[in-house]
């Protein structure tokens, strides 16, 4: 909001409502509170989040987007964007009364250039859109573990994929980004155009404009050795200690995680998971079968009750992690930890192990290192992730009362792991408001603020984690 608009709002609070009404008159894609389209558009993938923006916009074309941003800017309104709202819990903590929430779900075009191995992806596409388009060409993307996560938000925040330890963060495999400025104009940022903006976008999130398209590099991967192993939760201490020792020397070609999962007795769950508490090791290995089998041998030696590791089409990895296939109410949070030694293992087991009283659905330790610990040439604002593992926990929260209790439980677990926390946050896993500057080195944070001031001096664009 411009300084003038802020002053006017202090004098006449109804001004914001008037400006929103004017925007709705000028832009048919804008919907105000009380309309069915507003109520539909404000709901995020995480249905436990109650976000109430000043207005919701449902543009059908990039031209609609430009028109919307141009008029919102003239009226002194702020703009934020959402594809799916997987991380909506952070955005909902902001004052959204003068914010237009733009849902980009209608803009899902994906074009594959197989010769250049590049995907050109519109703002509303989810990862399954890209995976399905790339697979016929024998190509794969640095997608996440869930099929329905938005490509743009995931990538601008860093993006941790099944190939991350070999190929780094998704943000550092971006070729170009097109976005709308506060004036409503589309500009391109890449290695040769608006290079400061290109740097800032790759890790700095949605603070710098409304992204319309993103171009990402693809990998020549048709199939991969991948799968999961499962043990009952009472074997967690043994499995975790083996995983910790194995992690210390795992090759870059494997990206993997270990999770403690406590499933409710829901009928839609498969028999081997329904109502059970289990330990799950899963991962993807970019090696030939015999080499891959040798890599996971220490975990296989623990005689899991189920082992699905095999050569599979790369496109199937979007279901490997068993992330919920539909919108789910949840409360979660995560931190990077800098070691998984005996002390950290005991803290994790005490917090979420089989003898704990936790009711968290997920407690995960995702392996870092490899390419994530090295700075690639031409990296963006997030060069990699410091630490040995990402610790992430989540609870299902079907009611506000359960959500409040789950917030306390998530905080309790993260506090128990705090002594092992790495220096820098990874914002893609920060499901709660944080000190955003802690995700960057001081020089990087200063440069991000300078880019923000240059491209969005009035603070028109609001991101989940605001700069």
How do residues 374-409 score in pLDDT, each as one tens digit?
999 999 999 999 999 999 999 998 898 999 999 999
* Residue of 144, 169, 132 whose CA lies nearest to 87: 144
Q: Could you tell me the two tokens for 106?
A: 């209608």
**Number of independent structural domains in the chain:** 3
| CB environment 196-224: b (16+ within 10 A), e (fewer) | ebbbbbbbbbbbbbbbbbbbbbbbebeeb
- Using DSSP, how many helices (H) and how many strands (E) does the chain show? 15, 17
E-state strands within 286-424: 306-307, 310-313, 330-337, 362-367, 389-396
Looking at residue 13, its pLDDT comes to 46
**What confidence score (pLDDT) does residue 93 get?**
86
- The structure tokens 């955005």 sit at 91
pLDDT at 8: 40
- Specify if 460 maps to a domain: no
CATH number of the domain at 28, please: 3.30.465.10
Report pLDDT for 323: 86
Residues 31, 188: Cα–Cα separation, whole Å: 29
CATH (domain of 358)? 3.40.462.20
The whole-number pLDDT of residue 431 equals 80
pLDDT of residue 14: 61
The alpha carbon torsion through 257, 258, 262, 264 (nearest 10 deg) reads 30
* pTM above threshold 0.75: yes
Q: Which domain holds residue 349?
A: 223-429
Q: Which of 59, 253, 90, 105 is nearest to 157 (CA)?
A: 90
| Rounded Cα gap, residues 393 and 77, in angstroms | 35
End residue of a domain, out of 40, 69, 103: 103
**461 belongs to a structural domain:** no
| Judgement on whether residues 276 and 152 belong to the same structural domain of the protein | no
Cβ atoms of 327 and 46 within 8 Å: the answer is: yes
Below-70 pLDDT ranges, the chain: 1-14
Residue 417 lies in a domain: yes
Element of type H or E holding 284: strand 277-285
Residue 356 exposed, middle or buried by CB count within 10 Å (0-12, 13-18, 19+): middle
| Nearest alpha-carbon partner for 341 in 282, 374, 281, 388 | 388
């Amino acid at each position: 909001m411009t300084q003038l608009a802020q002053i006017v709002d202090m004098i006449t609070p109804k001004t914001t409502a008037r400006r929103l009404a004017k925007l709705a008159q000028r832009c048919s894609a804008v919907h105000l509170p009380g309309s069915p389209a507003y109520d539909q558009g404000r709901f995020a993938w995480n249905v436990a989040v109650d976000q109430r923006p000043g207005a919701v916009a449902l543009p059908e074309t990039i031209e609609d987007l430009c028109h919307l941003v141009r008029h919102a800017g003239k009226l002194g309104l702020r703009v934020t964007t959402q594809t799916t709202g997987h991380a909506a819990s952070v955005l909902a903590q902001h004052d959204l009364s003068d914010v237009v929430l733009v849902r980009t779900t209608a803009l899902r075009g994906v074009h594959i250039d197989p010769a250049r191995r590049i995907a050109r992806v519109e703002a509303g596409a989810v990862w399954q859109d890209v995976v399905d388009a790339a697979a016929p060409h024998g190509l794969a993307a640095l997608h996440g573990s869930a099929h329905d996560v938005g490509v743009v938000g995931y990538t601008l925040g860093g993006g941790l994929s099944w190939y991350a330890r070999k190929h780094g963060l998704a943000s550092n495999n971006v070729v170009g980004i097109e976005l709308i400025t506060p004036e409503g104009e589309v500009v391109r940022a890449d290695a040769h155009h608006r290079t400061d903006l290109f740097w800032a976008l790759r890790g700095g999130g949605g603070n710098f404009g409304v992204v319309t398209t993103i171009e990402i590099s693809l990998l020549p991967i048709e199939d991969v050795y991948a799968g999961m192993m499962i043990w009952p939760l009472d074997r967690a201490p043994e499995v975790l200690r083996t995983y910790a020792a194995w992690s210390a020397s795992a090759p870059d070609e494997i990206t993997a995680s270990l999770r403690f999962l406590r499933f409710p007795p829901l009928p839609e769950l498969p028999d081997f998971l329904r109502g059970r508490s289990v330990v799950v090791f899963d991962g993807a290995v970019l090696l030939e079968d015999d080499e891959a089998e040798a890599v996971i041998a220490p975990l296989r030696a623990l005689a899991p009750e189920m082992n699905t590791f095999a050569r599979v089409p790369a496109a199937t990895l979007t279901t490997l992690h068993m992330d919920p296939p539909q919108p789910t109410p949840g409360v979660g949070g995560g931190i990077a930890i800098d070691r998984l030694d005996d002390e950290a293992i005991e803290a994790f087991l005490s917090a979420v192990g089989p003898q704990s009283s936790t009711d968290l659905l997920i407690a995960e330790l995702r392996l870092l290192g490899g390419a994530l610990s090295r700075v690639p040439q031409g990296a963006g604002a997030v060069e990699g992730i410091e630490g040995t593992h990402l610790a992430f926990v989540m609870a299902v929260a079907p009611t506000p009362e359960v959500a409040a209790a789950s917030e306390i439980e998530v905080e309790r677990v993260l506090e128990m792991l705090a002594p092992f926390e790495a220096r820098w946050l990874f914002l893609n896993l920060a499901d709660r408001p944080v000190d955003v500057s802690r995700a960057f080195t001081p020089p990087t944070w200063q440069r991000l603020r300078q880019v923000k001031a240059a491209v969005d001096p009035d603070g028109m664009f609001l991101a989940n984690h605001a700069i």
